Amino acid sequence: MEIELSDKLAALAHPNRLALFRLLMRRYPDGVPAGEIAEALDYKANTASAYLSALKHAGLITQQRSGTSLMYAADLTGLRGMFDGLLSGCCQNRPDICNPAAAAAMPAPTVEHPLNILFICTGNSARSLLAEAILTQEGGGRFRAFSAGTLPAHAPRPEVLSMLEAKGLDTSSLQSKPLDQFSAPDAPKMDFIFTVCDHAANEECPAWPGQPMSAHWGLADPVKAEGTDAERRLVFQQAYGLLRNRIKAFAALPFDTLDRMSLQHQLDGIGQLNSPD
């Protein structure tokens, strides 16, 4: 049965359902368990279930079983169908509505005109700092890397600093910083924003000026690793290797030959790379 445009709009008209859908968009293309969604949004389990059912019925999210869990993800095909129905035919007479900038390629980053990249996690003590340091080294001056935390720690983890220094990366500028520092009027304008932990992606972020592109590159928190010192060091090494692979793939993208939709697909795909060095 074809889903009416009015059904899709009605499903998103409820502020709590909209908040749930926005969470799944921030986590896309990952699937998120129903229990995690309820916890992140502080909904009762039965309430979250009702919202998920309404969004699924409207064709805006998908449901898949993984073991004993039901996993939910945003359905971009359904979302595009909603916009196609809403803006059908607009380009015949209103090209200002169908934004032509969305099809334009992003200028290639250069040393003279670098792109600004912000990595976000919760504590800004491990993963996002690793990403900042790695991109600074791997980017060849074509990127300016930053990091921040939604609930920043007092300082970077010593395991992170010692590992980076052992690999010859500069740690002199690394510090744990609050996210709102980068939404201030005098903050650098970001071109890309990547969340590297699920918890940070579950939270609402500021409305960034300039509409930077974003993607979720989540990975497990090495700080929570248990075991011997050697086992914990291995987990930090694995996090470093995984982020390095993703960042090298990002830095190698042909930015000036990809329209924004193609570039977004590339960013989402990089977030699915799961094999560290």
Q: Which sequence positions are flagged as catalytic?
A: 121, 197, 205
Q: Say whether 117 sits in a helix, a strand or coil.
A: strand
Which residues, including other chains, have CB under 8 Å from residue 207's CB and lie 6 or more apart? none
What are 234's two structure tokens?
Answer: 């291995």
Query: Could you tell me if 196 and 219 are in contact, meaning their C-beta atoms sit under 8 angstroms apart?
Result: yes
Cα–Cα distance for residue pair 237/130, rounded to 1 Å: 10
Alpha-carbon Rg of the chain, whole angstroms?
20
203, 208, 234, 205: which is closest to 220 by C-alpha?
Answer: 234
Angle, in degrees to the nearest 10, between helices 127-138 and 158-166: 20
Which residues, including other chains, have CB under 8 Å from residue 262's CB and lie 6 or more apart? none
Cα–Cα distance for residue pair 25/35, rounded to 1 Å: 17
> Given strand 115-121, what is the order of strands in its sheet?
143-149, 115-121, 192-195, 213-216
